[in-house]
């Protein structure tokens, strides 16, 4: 069977199908257009059909491919980690701004696949970067990504700040769980396949953010910054949490689609 015939046989998005077939054949997608009438090895064809079936049943494309491109990096991902989203690249941009403004010691809380820490490190190699996660499986994925990319990050197993050295960070950045436990979105798209611990922030969705904001002052240096990603409808609540705790220069930034998705503040005490 040819590549073109295989693509015509599956009932999934054409772009997804092309990505899966190119991955199975270990070629780029352009090859499929130039060589669409060439026969495909039976083993590769069978592997492609199995993956296309899994995709049709809701398995995320990133988990089937085994990677997700984020920032300028290709990151390995699996069911132990959240799939990095394009929106989080804006949080990386903000973090790099703070690094360029003088932040030398940076802590990434809830690193997952290592996306934020590794993107920052790739752009600013001299920064001292520590990345934390409360899942050993996620931390293994992040560490493997760091090794494959040749980027040096201190990987630390910790439930948020539990084993993090206090009082020595210029910048704390986090994309924590922020979805409410009963949110209907949890049954949509890729979310059912992703780790619940990386998605659900508690009954209201704000519990993890409240915990981070409450403890961050003990870990930040004077004039240090805390930057948080959150839900599109949580900016006002997160800004209020930061101000109530004593953070100043609190502001919110939008993502590429115009949604308010990141809020941060500075600790001056």
Q: Does domain 79-267 have CATH number 1.10.760.10?
A: no
Stronger pLDDT, 234 or 33, i.e. the higher one:
234
Helix (H, G, I), strand (E, B) or coil at 101: coil
Which residue spans of the chain are classified as CATH 3.40.50.150? 79-267
* Phi, psi values for residue 32, rounded to 5°: -65, -35
pLDDT, tens only, 153-212: 999 999 999 999 999 999 999 999 999 999 999 999 999 999 999 999 999 999 999 999
Q: At what angle do helices 88-100 and 115-123 cross, to 10 degrees?
A: 40
The reported pTM is 0.94
Helix (H, G, I), strand (E, B) or coil at 72: coil
pLDDT, tens only, 213-247: 999 999 999 999 999 999 999 999 999 999 999 99
d(Cα 82, Cα 93) in Å, to the nearest integer?
A: 20
Q: How many CA atoms lie within 13 A of 219 on its CB side?
A: 24
Segment 82-102 mean pLDDT: 97
């Amino acid at each position: 069977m040819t590549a073109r015939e295989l693509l015509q046989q599956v009932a999934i998005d054409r772009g997804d199908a092309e990505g899966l077939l190119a991955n199975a054949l270990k070629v780029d997608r352009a090859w499929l257009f130039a060589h669409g009438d060439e026969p495909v090895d039976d083993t590769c064809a069978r592997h492609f059909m199995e993956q296309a079936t899994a995709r049709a049943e809701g398995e995320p494309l990133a988990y089937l491919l085994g990677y997700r491109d984020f920032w300028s990096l290709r990151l390995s991902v699996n069911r132990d980690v959240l799939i990095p989203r394009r929106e989080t690249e804006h949080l990386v941009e903000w973090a790099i701004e703070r690094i360029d403004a003088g932040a030398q010691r940076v802590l990434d809380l809830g690193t997952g696949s290592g996306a934020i820490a590794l993107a920052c490190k790739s752009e600013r190699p001299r920064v001292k970067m520590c990345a934390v996660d409360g899942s050993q499986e996620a931390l293994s994925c992040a560490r493997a990504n760091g090794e494959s990319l040749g980027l040096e990050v201190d990987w630390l197993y910790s439930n948020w700040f539990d084993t993090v050295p206090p009082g020595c960070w210029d910048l704390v950045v986090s994309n924590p769980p922020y979805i409410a436990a009963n949110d209907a979105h949890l049954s949509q798209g890729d979310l059912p396949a992703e780790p619940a611990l990386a998605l659900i922030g508690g009954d209201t969705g704000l519990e993890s953010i409240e915990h981070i904001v409450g403890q961050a002052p003990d870990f930040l240096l004077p004039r240090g910054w805390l930057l948080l990603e959150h839900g599109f409808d949580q900016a006002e609540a997160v800004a209020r949490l930061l101000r109530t705790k004593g953070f100043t220069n609190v502001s919110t930034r939008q993502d590429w689609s115009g949604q308010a998705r990141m809020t941060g503040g500075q600790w001056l005490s």
